[in-house]
Amino acid sequence: MKYEIVSPRIGTPGDTYEPVDGVNVEALVAGGFIIQSPTKAPKGAKTKTDTNEE
């Protein structure tokens, strides 16, 4: 799970937050200090469509 910094109290907003050992990440999310980075939907397999009408 990736997190993005929101509050400058933690780091530069927009940067990726790397959780440190012992840090309560859930509390950081609940407090609005970081957010979960939006995850991209996996691309589907490419399929070739035959357009040749023979």
Partner 1 sequence: MATSTYLSSPNVTVNSISLQDQCHGLTFTRTIEALESTAFGSGSRVYVAGLENSTLSLDLYLSFAASETYATLKNLVGTSTTVSWSASATSPGTATNPTMTLTGAYLEALPYEMALGSLGQISVVFTGGIYSVVEV
Total binding residues toward partner 1, as defined by CB under 8 A: 16
Tell me the C-alpha to C-alpha distance, in Å, between residue 53 and each of 3, 47, 48, 49, 50: 50, 18, 14, 11, 8
Asked if 30 touches partner 1 (CB under 8 A), the answer is yes
Using the minimum distance from each CB to partner 1, give the nearer residue, 27 or 45: 27
- Sole binder of partner 1 in the list 2, 7, 15, 36 (CB under 8 A): 7
The dihedral over CA atoms of 25, 10, 35, 21, expressed in degrees to the nearest 10, equals: -20
Contact set with partner 1 (CB under 8 A): 7-10, 20-24, 26-28, 30-33
